[in-house]
Chain A
Amino acid sequence: MGVPDASGDLSSEMEVDAFRRLFPLRYFERHLSESVRPDARPLGRARDTTLALGAVASAHGSALAKIGSTTMLAAIKMEVMTPSTESPDEGCIAIDFHMPPICSPIVRPGRPAEAAPVISKQLSDTISSSGMINLKELSLVSGKAAWIAYLDIYCLDADGALFDAALLSAVAAFSHLQIPIVSLNDDGKIVVILEEDDGTKLEKEPVNREKRKLTLSSIPFSLTCILHKNYILADPTAEEESIMETLVTVGLDSSSRLVSFYKPGGPVLAYTSAVQDCVALTRQRVKELQEILDEAISGMEID
């Protein structure tokens, strides 16, 4: 591990590692007092973030997001359904978040991770309350047919800030989403026209020739911070999350409105100044993430 040590011989290396395991909190506090973290990041800096669109060829929209080594794979599959009678001209989105045993030693095969349903719920809350997707755009024939978007997010490596990475991959998958072309058949049913038929002449007029991309109005991004004493650590790793337990997740949309301020308990109380500091850190981070997303989208267009 990259612990800076001038002497660098093996014995002192062992001591640092032992110290880290035996007194994890003191180990971190020694770093924090020097305004640096064990992975050489300043306190307010998030880890390097990469985004790749179209990682799953068989899905209608997909993305792979990495924040540090936290990796999330999101894929969207579109299906036609009959809309409910309460909202006949709206489609719907079903979000599921999976944590397979591959992602972390805490998850054991056979029993689902405790965090998974919570993150799944948080994701659907954030996406619906931000109003990023206009559900009316998912309608095909009012009262008869609409799209249901199945968004599945798989956590491949859980190294902290799971919600941030999951939200980023979800948002990226939606911006990559290409809605399949459908047409009405003789019985008045909706049928999907396969991509290969595109070149040949279509027998039936497609229902949705123009509406193949969703317009994403205000895109939400989030940043998780750890509060510890007076320190605020942005984008924690799994090790940091297990040692310092007070987590705050702030979600802001592209016009800087608050989509979510999520603090589930924790021994440290958040005062107004901490709230404002977390929001300020998130503002910066949203700009970074917006650039990363724009870059990934423009990269796709060149291809």
Chain B
Amino acid sequence: MEIDRDHGRSPSQLRPLSCSRNVLHRAHGSASWSQGETKVLAAVYGPKAGTKKNENPEKACIEVIWKPKTGQIGKLEREYEMILKRTLQSICILTLNPNTTTSIIVQVVNDDGALLVCAINAACAALVDAGIPMKHLAVAICCCLAESGYVILDPTKLEELKMRGFAYLVFPNSVLSVLPEGSSLVEGEPMENGIITSVTHGVMSVEEYLKCLERGRAASAKLSDFLRRSLQSQLSNDSSKAA
């Protein structure tokens, strides 16, 4: 089933996705998310009472702990923790549980490219599983820019090495609402076109970045459908957890 791009995956074809919730028994919420060979496990504990120092006690605090596959955490992991924390802060409703801390533990199971993106998607699904109040979901996508200037999505680790530059992009998922069409437009663009998070590596022209954005948005719509479907299908056989 696994088709590599060298074996005929089209540039904008994502690897097979899979998402399962409630995989850990003791955590308040957990999820595992995999994109091809990249797999991340996320667990949520909280909200627990009290916030850490230097955090605003009028809001809920979010704490992210990144566990690499092996070894100690370094600068790269610290950066990932910070990006994850800020991204999740922006999608959670922090004012509902003031003076509490929610911990999200991200365990890398296997890294085969697009790791940060996979972790953001896993953390998001785990937050849903834990029932943390959220404004909307976030969907993350990795866009790569090849030497010749075309954009490919969701690279494997081997592909990442060959690329001139890449961008990790996070968009809000499309919201199903009862409001009339067009009421959620911001400056003539739908809400899901706005960037929550963007991290780039390598040199690209501004036009190429905008091209990445466009392709990322198109793919994020598919991803957000997948996320919604997989969360809804598990909702029905989820009653055991509530008991």
Task: Give chain A's interface residues, CB within 8 Å of chain B.
Answer: 106, 114-115, 117-118, 120-122, 125, 129-131, 218, 253, 256-267, 269-273, 275-276, 279
Contact = CB atoms under 8 A, between A and B. Distances in A.
A120 B87 contact: no
Interface of B: 54, 74-76, 78-79, 82-83, 85-90, 165, 167, 170, 172, 186-187, 189, 191, 193-206, 208-210, 213
14 contacts: A118-B75, A121-B76, A129-B201, A131-B203, A256-B205, A258-B200, A258-B208, A261-B209, A262-B200, A263-B196, A264-B86, A265-B196, A267-B90, A271-B187
B82 A264 contact: yes
A261 B198 contact: yes
Contacts of B87: 264-265
Nearest to B198: A263
A253 B206 CA distance: 11
Nearest to A266: B90
A272 B209 CA distance: 11
A201 to B, nearest CB: 46
A258 B209 contact: yes
Given A264-B82, A265-B86, A269-B195, A121 B75 contact: yes
A118 B194 contact: no
A271 B201 contact: no
Given A118-B82, A258-B205, A265-B197, 11 more contacts: A117-B79, A118-B75, A121-B75, A258-B203, A263-B195, A264-B87, A264-B197, A265-B170, A269-B196, A271-B193, A272-B213
A68 to B, nearest CB: 23
A265 B194 contact: no
Instruction: Please indicate which of the listed interface residues A258, A261, A265 has the most CB atoms of chain B within 10 Å of its own CB.
Output: A265
Contacts of A118: 75, 78-79, 82
Nearest to B200: A261
A269 B194 contact: yes
A267 B135 CA distance: 10
Contact of A262 (B54, B76, B199, B213): B199
A260 B205 CA distance: 10
A264 B87 CA distance: 6
B90 A271 contact: no
Contacts of A129: 165, 201-203
Nearest to B82: A118
A275 B213 CA distance: 10
Nearest to B164: A129
B186 A269 contact: yes
A271 B189 contact: yes
Contact of A264 (B54, B83, B205): B83
Instruction: Please indicate which of the listed interface residues A117, A253, A276, A279 has the most CB atoms of chain B within 10 Å of its own CB.
Output: A117
A265 B88 contact: yes
The 6 closest A-B pairs by CB, nearest first: A269-B194, A265-B86, A265-B87, A117-B78, A270-B195, A121-B75
B86 A117 contact: no
A153 to B, nearest CB: 14
B201 A125 contact: yes
A121 B81 CA distance: 13
A257 B206 CA distance: 7
A36 to B, nearest CB: 23
B205 to A, nearest CB: 5
A221 to B, nearest CB: 14
Nearest to A230: B187
A266 B86 contact: yes
Given A269-B186, A271-B194, A261 B167 contact: yes
